[in-house]
Structure 1
Amino acid sequence: MKILAIDTATEACSAALLWNDAVLTREQVAPQGHTRLILPMVSELMAEAGTSLQGLDAIAFGRGPGSFTGVRIGIGAAQGLAYGANVPLIGISTLQMLAQGAYRRQQAEKVIAAIDARMNEIYLGAFTLQDGRMQPVLDEAVILPEQAAQLLHAVTAKIAGGVAVGTGFTCYTELAAKLDLLPAENQVELNLPWAQDMLPQAVAAYQAGEYCDPSLATPVYLRDKVTWKKLPGRE
């Protein structure tokens, strides 16, 4: 299987290429450099594999949540590449990528992922390992850090002893302890999502036919959903 994955939803900018059994990567922490970096990263991966976009089966992209601008850059780049290659798109949750990364690096099987959402809020998701892939145990949400315990209460048994990962925990350093989670290590590489961690989800989605035409690819901001629900008559 041949799948390209790209992500620009957070401070990290990364691309990864699954080419049969090999995984090639390009990764950089570049808060302001996504537009400049992502397409050259893709070109480098194609050159390293000795192939072209037309040889791909699909392109996966980080659909969010994350920076509004970053998410838009990623989906725009993915759509452009997919149109040129005539291949479908697969959107993968940024929080799910973080959880998959914790499994890849630390063999964590229960992961609570949180991304700093600014405005004193975090994007939060909880995941457990199933068949080598991190799967959600509740709906992702944008919340105040002090609301995390209430949100996670319904899945306490499933995530007990889990690992906390992401900038939501490194920014709110006491949050992991309050939730009885193993604290996140304050290393940049461990607390940002990377494109290679989309690949297990993307392969499963492609095999299940869970992909879409580039024109139908949509971002997930979470905060928009909250705002919509608060509008009069839209609860």
Structure 2
Amino acid sequence: MTINLLAIDTSSEWCSAALYCAGHITQQLEYRPKQHGERLLAMMDKLLTDAHLQLSNLQAIAYARGPGSFTGVRLAAAVAQGSAFPAHLPLIGISTLAALAHAAFRQHQQQWILAALDARIGEIYWAGFEITTIGMVTALTAEQVTLPNSVMLPNSPIVPIKQWYGAGSGWAVYGNELRASTELTAAQVNGEIICTAHDIALLAIQAWQAGTIEILEYSAPQYIRNQVAIKTSERERRS
């Protein structure tokens, strides 16, 4: 079965949309802090127009479910649901951390990834992943939000520290703390790798083809942090 799938991500300062069509991915990617709402629909429309497709020609819509920016995660979920509902399309929510790990594999051929995103207020979202040679992602830890110095590599007797790779904005912001807690070297990390709709689309397609995806009728953002807003006094105490 030929699959046409649209994927979106607004979980960070970057805004992206990607179309998987005829086995190829085309992506629109822009650095748009606080302007995702102004650009996302236009990016989606351009991808569909250039491919001579309409929403009714798609089989599903995938979105970055989080963790990430509270506003951005909610926006992607809302746009995905608003686009899917009138066209009677299923929704596929993909973890931003898993997509980040896949980006590290796709761009740098890394197999064991500790993905970390800046969660603000001195914390990071993080999880450990293993990527197979064909790009299938398996989570080795739960996705969590902690202080950078609380992060630990998954305990594995068969994966030495030198084979791990750190990816994501968490490493850019808290590199010293993370390297100290994980014992990774500076050569083993890349804080410039980002989650984009390209990898959201690839993971959604993989799961669809493997029959392991949970297809949703309604979008379900994943925040991880129980308290979306933390009081000023708490922020000051942590700083």
Quickly name the TM-score band, shorter chain normalised: 0.7 to 0.9
Would you say the 8 A contact 1:138–1:155 is kept in 2?
A: no
Deviations 1:107-137 (A, max 9, x none): 1111111001011110001111124222211
Equivalenced residue count is 221
Q: 1:143 to 1:159 in 2, by over 3 A?
A: farther
Q: CA separation in 2, counterparts of 1:136 and 1:14?
A: 24
Aligned to 1:33: 35
- Aligned in 2, Cα 1:9/1:72: closer, same or farther, shift over 3 Å? same
1:68 has 2:70 as partner: yes
Q: Provide, for residues 48-105 of structure 1, a one-character-per-residue CA deviation record: whole Å limited to 9, x for no partner.
A: 1111111001000000000111100000000001012211000000001111111111
Give, as a single letter, the amino acid of the residue that structure 2 aligns with 1:72: R
Whether contact under 8 Å (2:170, 2:191) holds in the other structure is: no
Match status 1:134 vs 2:137: yes
Cα distance in 2 for partners of 1:7, 1:61 equals: 6
The structure with the greater share of residues assigned to helix is 1
CA distance in 2, matches of 1:158, 1:69: 37
Alpha-carbon distance in structure 2 between the residues aligned to 1:159 and 1:96:
21
Partner of 2:20: 18
| Partner residue in 2 for 1:144 | 147
Rounded Cα–Cα distance in structure 2 between residues aligned with 1:87 and 1:155: 40
Structure 1 runs of 4+ off > 6 angstroms? none
Task: Give the TM-score normalised by the residue count of structure 1.
Answer: 0.87
TM-score normalised over the length of structure 2: 0.86
**Shift in Å, 1:159:** 6.7
Distance 1:67 1:2 in 2: 28
Query: Residue 215 of structure 2 aligns with which residue?
Result: 212
In structure 2, distance between residues paired with 1:108 and 1:153: 16
C-alpha displacement of 1:198: 1.3
Q: Which residue of 2 aligns with 1:82?
A: 84
The percent identity for this pair of structures is 35
Deviates more, 1:55-64 or 1:168-177: 168-177
- Tell me which residue corresponds to 1:230: none
Is the aligned partner of 1:180 residue 2:183? yes
